[in-house]
Amino acid sequence: MKRQRLKLPVLVIYALIFYGIWSLFELFIKGAVSAAIENELIAQFIKSGIIKNLVWTLPAVFLIRFFQDESYLRLKEMFTNKVNLSKFVPLFLAFTAYVLLAALLTRGNISAGIGGDELIILLFVGITEETVFRGWLLNATITENRKWLPILVNAFMFLLIHFPSWIASGEFSDISVIPNALCVLALSVIFSLSFIKSKSIWLPIALHTYWDLLVFLFM
């Protein structure tokens, strides 16, 4: 009961610290790391593999474990529950069809290509972002009787974490940010529903990684 009362203040404090640190990283530190390290692959590994795991994954795993008795799924459950992937094949196919169609409409072709730095991002993006947003933030707020409000709040928070990188890249002031924002919101809802339906963190991680792979390859 004591930890249940602690959960809301911890969630608020966590969000403030997390968004503050990551905004500083995206706006100021990320560029400095790239400038200081000539090897692009090493620089990307430091940014995506080391720094992002320290800021995202490790604190989230600690909090999931600390509040697991007050959450939808316990830490061990979300990582060990078996998932029947065959049930979700249509979702992977839908992702594929959507990205290929978008590439065809915007670029006129569906030629594929991916860089080494993007491969490093793919190694970590799913597990870091899904551990925070589905494994921790959503898991700590949903119940069997209350799902949609936490899902929608989670989607807004997932969108918000993209703002610093969009600002740093100049994308935030471009009209293309609107469809991108809508896409991020929709993906967040899909990842959240997949987490709830499968009772496993691995399905949203797989979906998230596959989506980014498609975008890197074709968009």
The answer to whether residues 47 and 55 touch, using CB atoms and an 8 Å cutoff, is no
**38 to each of 41, 43, 60, 122, 217, how far by Cα in Å?**
9, 7, 31, 21, 24
Would the pLDDT of 1 be above 70?
no
User: 């459950």: which residue's tokens?
Assistant: 77
Q: Among 183, 175, 201, 169, which residue's Cα sits nearest to residue 74?
A: 201
Residues 93-146 pLDDT 10s = 999 999 999 999 988 888 888 999 999 999 999 999 999 999 999 999 999 999
Q: What is the predicted pLDDT for the residue at 20? A: 98
The token pair that represents 92 in the structure block: 């992977």
In terms of Cα–Cα distance, which of 160, 122, 120 is closest to 37? 120
The per-residue pLDDT for range 50-93, each reduced to its tens digit, is 999 999 999 999 999 999 999 999 999 999 999 998 999 999 99
Q: How many domains does the chain have?
A: 1
Q: What's the Cα-to-Cα distance from 219 to each of 104, 106, 112, 168, 172, rounded to whole Å?
A: 9, 9, 8, 20, 18
Residue 175 has pLDDT above 90, yes or no: no
- The residue segments making up the domain with residue 77 are 2-218
Q: Which residue has 């597990």 as its token pair? A: 127
Q: Convert the pLDDT of each residue in 11-54 to its tens digit.
A: 999 999 999 999 999 999 999 999 999 999 999 999 999 999 99
